[in-house]
Chains A and B, each alone.
Chain A
């Protein structure tokens, strides 16, 4: 799992912050390691020496946001890397190899919003592409015509939220589809007739399975959204603690 260490950093550190324990970490060490993952193109790889990709670029920005250290970045350089990946139809590639997926639309929009550089992309086209991925059940897939999947839905709805475009979502229809993901055990599945998984709604993917930081993050985030006591509120669009998001957008 070396190739996604930067994602792991984001999952682990955000969880710590939601639990109120971010202070336990050596901030400077993490920041300097993150910067070593940056490629000359401006994008970040999953670990030192790995190729750049938006998946890890967002995690880098998010972790720096937790520490209020976004200013260590050459913001223009990172923003230009992300913006260069937008296609004519508004969609985004993940990297220079061209895989298109609405996950990358979310990543681009979320990253650029956190960097206050949304104006570097064509937001209207980006939104239109996401809307073209809307399905019969109100959900969203990874490309036009692809089946709805809770993970993709998070990305698409998040991107629409950040760009003030939630009016494109049929809230009642999608809301019902999403709440139908809850199965008898109380867990949530990602699509109809599939197994429940905490990444959709424990700390392992399901009871009695092995734990890992990925599912721990989603478990804790879910608990925060359900207003579980003792946890900081998490913002559902930027997937960062609310105080971090407020500081970036509302603070002066």
Chain B
């Protein structure tokens, strides 16, 4: 029951209440009796009306009435006599429903009974519309009424354009009618999809932005208009997916070798790859999640041109992903004197589509070359036996100038090739710029929270469109301004601070990776001082930046060693696209469960992992339980061989998430101290799951 004040009933009130209950119970048992014995006399039906008009929630009563109607209709056709007209039988039902609705406007049973009557086709839809107008004047937000309206307009085949006018009228009547705005979005989606000149997307959006601006300027604190504005923005930005970046990068020359760790001296780690398995990954990264990447939509000209298997790199096993992966074999000739060219054409014929249904209609291509260097037998043994300590003194800033110049040269290869720029319509940029101006105007006179958030989103959209190659129209947009907006929001609306932290993080990462100079500032050489003969690594350091999530991975596909420690990460979604990662530091973050580490299962080359000093096991609620594949989400099949890994008395249910994670990882080194898990039995369990593991929490374990 809603909205009933809490007060003790007086004796008189108690008496009246129990009398009422007794009457109701009596009616209920009578109706059930009639129902079970199929008694459809006038008196019986009248009693059911009494019941439903005082308790519209008694669903069995409505079922009884439907059977009574069917009985009367059948009997009427048998009799042949004009006993009662179909009209009067059905009108009676409508009367009972109306009375029941007076009692409870939101009764599902009553509304459905009305629909059932109308579906019989003998009632006036005009009358229903008049009734609806009455109802909606009383309560314009009643979703039952709106749903019924949709049912009637479909029955009466009222065109969407007319209903659109109705929403216009409702909105002019009261801007704060979320239900009307919502309906408008549904109708316009249908009309834009149908096509036709009048409902051309550019025209519609232009008009709608103007229409909603009235609402926003009239009452900036009302949410309805802002949510509609957000939908318009989404429609404006809904574009074709665009190919963004790859690894190996376009125009690069990749050095392949069979053994050992990263070689840093003669060439750059980003363009080096070692694999005993004689294959290397090819990763394609798109602007949004797409499906349809396969050997029929992407052609790779290389060696004998085998049919390649492409897999999506999303954290869950969904057909859509931003990043797609395949493997290419090393060149057959070892060592090769010449570099072998590889050309990848991402074709334009139908096949690759975004999750929003937009096709990738522009073909583009990348090319790079590969060659195999000689094996360095001496180094291979030393490489595999030392432990990464992550000590601060082992990090050295970009040492030599030549190294820096070389890095700069390589990084420039990572930018999107000029030929591959997308053809996004110019009007989207025009609209964004106009909206930025209006939003800034609004915020100059009101300090409105959602307005600020909208401006931040608009500015980011502007930046994104530019990064896709749309010429800048002169609107001033700086990353610092967007970051400042999010900081303002965190102060204005501390209850939603986590949401704003996410927004801030994404902007920060975009800023950081947006040009070579800023990215270089976060790259350090790493040399393990305890094993000076091993080669240095190139480590990207994004530690201590208050990052709450991962973003901008299209610029980081080449990263092999990554330090994300001392941040606010609760999720690492996005890391699955960094296929080359072999050393990852996630210590001192806010990771709450093993389920949040699921993206790591896609990282085939990951050997060194530090998840120490997080919050794993410290929470009774795992909020990421359904965001990973497990028996709970009906996504795990026959590989649930939990039993054989567990000793007799270890609590199986407590470690199912650790099992699902670590069974797919081939770690050599793991740090997990400082979490609320990890007793000796658990450690023994991990050793069984990962036979390659040599170091656990700093100690040799085999």
Which A residues have a C-beta under 8 Å from some C-beta of B? Answer: 1-4, 45-46, 49-51, 53, 95, 97-99, 101, 113, 118, 135-137, 141-143, 145-149, 161-164, 166-167, 172-173, 175-177, 179-180, 182, 191-195, 197, 204-206, 208-212, 214, 224-225, 227, 233, 235-237, 243, 245-247, 249-252
Contact = CB atoms under 8 A, between A and B. Distances in A.
A93 to B, nearest CB: 10
Interface string B227-255: 11011001000000000000000000000
B103 interface: no
Given A49-B36, A164-B635, A205-B2, A143 B147 contact: yes
A3 B3 contact: no
A167 B320 contact: yes
25 contacts: A3-B58, A45-B60, A49-B32, A51-B60, A53-B59, A97-B66, A136-B231, A137-B227, A147-B146, A149-B143, A161-B633, A163-B633, A163-B634, A164-B316, A164-B635, A191-B141, A192-B224, A210-B1, A210-B6, A210-B7, A225-B621, A227-B620, A227-B621, A249-B631, A250-B632
Contacts of A163: 633-634
Interface of B: 1-7, 25, 28, 32, 35-36, 57-60, 62-63, 66, 108, 112, 115-116, 141, 143, 146-147, 150, 176, 178-179, 182-183, 185-186, 222-224, 227-228, 230-231, 234, 314, 316-318, 320, 495-496, 499, 502, 619-621, 625-627, 629, 631-635, 642-643, 652-653, 656
A193 B222 contact: yes
A214 B1 CA distance: 8
Contacts of B234: 136
Contacts of B108: 99, 101
B620 A233 contact: yes
B659 to A, nearest CB: 10
Contacts of B143: 141-142, 146-147, 149, 191
A191 B627 CA distance: 25
A182 B179 CA distance: 19
Contacts of A49: 32, 36, 60
Nearest to A50: B60
Given A3-B58, A193-B223, A166 B316 contact: yes
A97 B6 contact: no
Contact of B182 (A97, A147, A235, A246): A147
Given A135-B185, A143-B147, A205-B1, A164 B633 contact: yes
B112 to A, nearest CB: 4
Nearest to B633: A164
Nearest to B150: A145
A204 B631 contact: no
Contacts of A53: 59
B626 A146 contact: no
Contacts of B230: 136-137, 173
Closest 6 CB pairs of A and B: A164-B633, A161-B626, A136-B231, A164-B635, A136-B185, A167-B318
A186 to B, nearest CB: 9
Nearest to A101: B108
B178 A191 contact: yes
Contacts of A210: 1, 4-7
B629 A164 contact: yes
Contacts of B626: 161-162, 166, 236-237
Contact of A249 (B5, B115, B147, B632): B632
Nearest to A55: B59
A211 B112 contact: no
A212 B652 CA distance: 38
Contacts of A235: 625
B314 A167 contact: yes
Contacts of A46: 59-60
A51 to B, nearest CB: 5
B178 A147 contact: yes
B3 A250 contact: no
Contacts of A113: 634
Contacts of A166: 316, 626-627, 633
Contacts of A243: 653
Contacts of B58: 3
Contacts of B320: 167
A51 B59 contact: yes
Contacts of A97: 62-63, 66, 112, 116
Given A49-B36, A53-B59, 10 more contacts: A97-B116, A147-B182, A166-B627, A195-B3, A209-B6, A210-B1, A211-B6, A245-B632, A246-B653, A252-B652
Contact of A209 (B4, B28, B656): B4
A227 B620 CA distance: 6
Contacts of B634: 113, 118, 162-164
A246 B223 CA distance: 40
Given A167-B320, A191-B178, A99 B112 contact: yes
B503 to A, nearest CB: 9
A193 B147 contact: no
A149 B183 CA distance: 14
Nearest to B657: A250
Contacts of B7: 210
Given A176-B499, A193-B222, A249-B632, A3 B57 contact: yes
Contacts of B620: 227, 233
